[in-house]
Structure 1
Amino acid sequence: MGINSTYVRGNNANSGGCPTDGDSVLHALTAAYERGWQPADIVHMTRRSLGAAEVRLAVWAIMYEARLSKAVERAPRSWLSHLRAIREQHTDPGHFASTALQRKAVAQLWRELPPLPAEAPPPSKWAEYRADTAADPSPVGPADAKVLGRIRGLLAKAESTDFVEEAEIFTAKAQELMTKYAINAALLDARTNTSTEIVSRRIHVENPYIKQKVQLLNQISDANRVRTVWIEEVGMATAVGAPIDVGQVEMLFTSLLIQATRALRDAGADAADASSARAFRRAFLYGFAVRIGERLRQAGERATAAAAQESSFTVAEVLPVLASRSEAVEAEVTRLFPSTRLVRSRGSFDANGVRAGRAAADRANLRRHDGTDDRRLEAG
């Protein structure tokens, strides 16, 4: 359903929203939707490129368009998840004043957004009513959503506590639940000859130290059979994998970013000048990311052996199952991004920062839920 200019203009005049030339903003928004962009992506790019006033305008336009297109009744559940996240993070501006300059900047930015692989159909492709009327906008199944909810709860507790010991217990338990569930789900698919479902989900990465944060995301993804494709010009990565694996990557990335930021703050970066301090922080985050990746891969090997021991499969039988899933992921990455190329990190880093980052990674979540220190990320 497209935007009817007369309808928008009349509503703007009566509601006290954006002035009549707000039509250009709405047309630019719906055109961006047609090129693969989704609501949260639009907010991210507006915040990355413009200012707070333009972000408020973006939120207004997104919510206004959602009412025009009857998103509540027609949008895919993943689209509703975007709208819900925007409502949680931003106050609906409702009636507000925007300048012609702000509207022009927003419209121009959105018109110039490059095409993205579509993760969900745009409003023009929605049916009159959504066939799936479930209230939960989660893109995963009910069982997965339940497990992911428990994981989120545990990680939220780990991030909110000031006690390291307590945070380690909560995070270790969360990782135990997710690791076991992910491997068991793959084995269940193999037993029932169920084809592997592969999804893609965009992850927004914010400044500062964006390259080091992407390095952390790549390390987490690599350890969990997920491929990430980084689109530098828009500050977004696309994670491709099984739903449960992509969910695990998202949550670990968010949680470990919080832990890395806290560890970096505690480590300090006393230096004679700001440049040296920035070099230390970049190196710290790089060292943290590399060491976390090493630990996650080691944990994955142990978890695979433990899952095989608890099932009727042997390790020799489990590995081809996981390899098959990885092949499906690679095929989907090739379909979505046929011209991608592998880019490896280059350059030198502050040696003290790297050492401090690796040490912080070694301290992250070292204990199992029984309190013993065996430097494991999963409970095998």
Structure 2
Amino acid sequence: MGSRDRRRDDSAERAVFRALAGMRDADLPHEQMLEILLQAAMSTVGVGNRGAFEALSTALAERPDLGGWRAFVARDLMIRLPFAIGQTWSRGWEPADVVRYVGRRLGPGRAALAAEAVSEQLTGYARVTVDPRWHEQVAEFEVAPWWPTGSAAAQAHLERDGWVAFAPELLELVGFLLMLPGLERVGPPPGDYRPLAGDRPTPPKQVDERVLSRIRALLAKAEATTSEAEAEAFTAGAQERMARHSIDMAMVQAGGGNDQVRGGRPATRRIWIDPPYEQSKTVLLNSVAQANRCRSVWTKNIGFCTVIGFDADLEAVEALFTSLLVQATMAMTRAGRIEEAGGRARSKTFRQSFLAAYAFRIGERLTEITQEQTEAARAELGDDRLLPVLASRQQDVEDRFEELFPSVTRGRSIRVGDRMGWASGRGAADQATFGTSSAVTQ
């Protein structure tokens, strides 16, 4: 632990000590006592000091219910929870980000509560004033409210689960949300969203669902097969379709005029990176993004990448990245069985090197396929039609990247500590011809 982390941890323990001392003071006003508790909770969750928070939650649960203490805490925290959710939105967080990060740091129970709170709060806004992507994210939570109509979720939890179980959970969630850092704003918060004045009543779709369905079917086949040659052929077929679909959508949007066509500007998508081997996984995502004319930035301290591109390209990047992670893991496991050498093939260094090599080589091959499809489109459409459109879109992506991340710095390169892992990873990515769609069942 560094000196800065040590100071923060000491500060959190001092905050807990003050809170525990205050809990024994029956004369302390409820407002002051709760504020001390909340500040201590924010300190402990901020440094991840689980032991300190457990001591805090035990004291909260066991404090005598004098002068309406429990009713006051419940009422106050129920007011603070939606306020804390609103604060995260004003700091650039979106519903999926909040729920995902809460789950990663505090566990699935707190994540479920956060999903309920987010879903409930969004119902307070007119639907047309909320970005449609937010409604899509909330729909994925699959929250089914079980509390009576008109009652707050937090109050219903207290009545169902009881004070001892739920009050500390609510305190921790509120404290955690209030101390979340600011993120780059990638879209308007609820209440501020407005359809563009030039939008058509029914704008053309930016992603052909039939094409996307075929792409996903190919990637599912790539994940299901035990043959590396077949997996790469299926993946190559998917990338061909992605690249061509991107070009087709670019020409459609160029024909309609960027000012009239919704989606005629770059969008953003946050893709969360799960441990372990996060750095190698971000290299893989960046390789896929570059091959599909997108830019990617890793927010390491939180755990996600922001991908910037046009809608069709973002759909392609997310689908392909998810599939390639599955394929890379399977290939890494096979390589580990084949190349056992005193346990090295199962070491962290081997796997990190394997995934890094796999990512770099896959990126090269995906880029080759994109270039082939671009050349085919040039022959069909002509340079004077295609190239200005692609150049303009690429510049739009770069401009949006600079707008969101004006001071981004390039991170350190991955340290390759295992030559066997690097060679095996590159070999796994290079196993097949990775060739044409003729090798892929339609």
CA offsets, 1:130-154, max 9 Å, x none? xx9x99xxx9826534433432343
Q: 2:284–2:360: 8 Å Cα contact kept in structure 1?
A: yes
Deviation at 1:70, TM superposition (A): 5.8
Determine the structure 1 residue equivalent to 2:120: 64
Alignment partner for residue 132 of structure 2, among 55, 66, 77? Answer: 77
Q: Give the secondary structure class of the aligned counterpart of 2:438.
A: coil
Query: Does 2:215 match 1:151?
Result: yes
TM-score (structure 2 length as normaliser): 0.69
1:27-106 equivalences in 2 (<5 Å): 27-69=83-125, 74-87=129-142, 96=157, 97=161, 98-106=165-173
Determine the structure 2 residue equivalent to 1:13: none
Distance 1:147 1:268, change over 3 A: same
Deviation at 1:36, TM superposition (A): 1.7
Tell me the distance in 1 between the aligned counterparts of 2:433 and 2:89.
Answer: 40
CA offsets, 1:262-311, max 9 Å, x none? 11122226465699611111011001001011112222221111111222
Query: Does 2:235 match 1:171?
Result: yes
Distance 1:91 1:190, change over 3 A: closer
Alignment partner for residue 277 of structure 2, among 206, 209, 212? Answer: 209
Deviation at 1:340, TM superposition (A): 1.2
Distance 1:141 1:207, change over 3 A: same
Tell me the distance in 1 between the aligned counterparts of 2:229 and 2:416.
Answer: 34
**209-218 vs 96-105, which moves further:** 96-105
Q: Counterpart of 2:272 in structure 1: which amino acid?
A: H
Q: Counterpart of 2:312 in structure 1: which amino acid?
A: I
Tell me the distance in 2 between the aligned counterparts of 1:352 and 1:176.
Answer: 31
Determine the structure 2 residue equivalent to 1:376: none
Q: 1:36–1:116: 8 Å Cα contact kept in structure 2?
A: yes
Higher RCO, 1 vs 2 (CA within 8 Å, ≥6 residues apart): 1
Determine the structure 2 residue equivalent to 1:6: none
Q: Counterpart of 1:209 in structure 2: which amino acid?
A: Y
Q: Counterpart of 1:298 in structure 2: which amino acid?
A: E
Determine the structure 2 residue equivalent to 1:109: 176
Q: 1:59–1:93: 8 Å Cα contact kept in structure 2?
A: no
Tell me the distance in 2 between the aligned counterparts of 1:126 and 1:81.
Answer: 15
Tell me the distance in 2 between the aligned counterparts of 1:284 and 1:244.
Answer: 30
Deviation at 1:250, TM superposition (A): 1.2
Structure 1, unpaired ranges of 5+: 1-17, 373-378
1:325-364 equivalences in 2 (<5 Å): 325-363=393-431
Q: Give the secondary structure class of the aligned counterpart of 2:268.
A: strand
Determine the structure 1 residue equivalent to 2:185: 118
Aligned length: 346
Deviation at 1:46, TM superposition (A): 0.8
Tell me the distance in 1 between the aligned counterparts of 2:362 and 2:167.
Answer: 48
RMSD: 3.4
Q: 2:223–2:231: 8 Å Cα contact kept in structure 1?
A: yes
Determine the structure 1 residue equivalent to 2:336: 268
Alignment partner for residue 352 of structure 2, among 279, 282, 303? Answer: 282
Deviation at 1:247, TM superposition (A): 1.7
1:296-315 equivalences in 2 (<5 Å): 296-311=366-381, 313-314=382-383
Q: 2:206–2:311: 8 Å Cα contact kept in structure 1?
A: no
Q: 1:284–1:357: 8 Å Cα contact kept in structure 2?
A: yes
Deviation at 1:19, TM superposition (A): 4.9
CA offsets, 1:49-105, max 9 Å, x none? 11222122222222222334465x653211111112222xx7777665353322222
Distance 1:367 1:327, change over 3 A: closer
Distance 1:91 1:159, change over 3 A: farther
Q: 1:205–1:214: 8 Å Cα contact kept in structure 2?
A: yes
Tell me the distance in 1 between the aligned counterparts of 2:218 and 2:282.
Answer: 24
1:210-249 equivalences in 2 (<5 Å): 210-249=278-317
**235-244 vs 112-121, which moves further:** 112-121
Q: Give the secondary structure class of the aligned counterpart of 1:370.
A: helix
Distance 1:296 1:142, change over 3 A: closer
Determine the structure 2 residue equivalent to 1:255: 323
Q: 1:172–1:365: 8 Å Cα contact kept in structure 2?
A: no
Tell me the distance in 2 between the aligned counterparts of 1:27 and 1:81.
Answer: 22
Deviation at 1:116, TM superposition (A): 2.2
Tell me the distance in 2 between the aligned counterparts of 1:371 and 1:346.
Answer: 34
Structure 2, unpaired ranges of 5+: 1-72, 148-155
Deviation at 1:123, TM superposition (A): 2.3
CA offsets, 1:212-267, max 9 Å, x none? 11011111112221111211111111111122122211111111111111111222
Distance 1:160 1:62, change over 3 A: farther
Q: Counterpart of 1:116 in structure 2: which amino acid?
A: L
Q: 1:280–1:350: 8 Å Cα contact kept in structure 2?
A: yes
Tell me the distance in 2 between the aligned counterparts of 1:364 and 1:251.
Answer: 21
Q: 1:168–1:366: 8 Å Cα contact kept in structure 2?
A: yes
Distance 1:160 1:91, change over 3 A: farther
CA offsets, 1:298-329, max 9 Å, x none? 22221111111222x13x86444323222111
TM-score (structure 1 length as normaliser): 0.79
Question: Which is greater in Rg?
Answer: 2
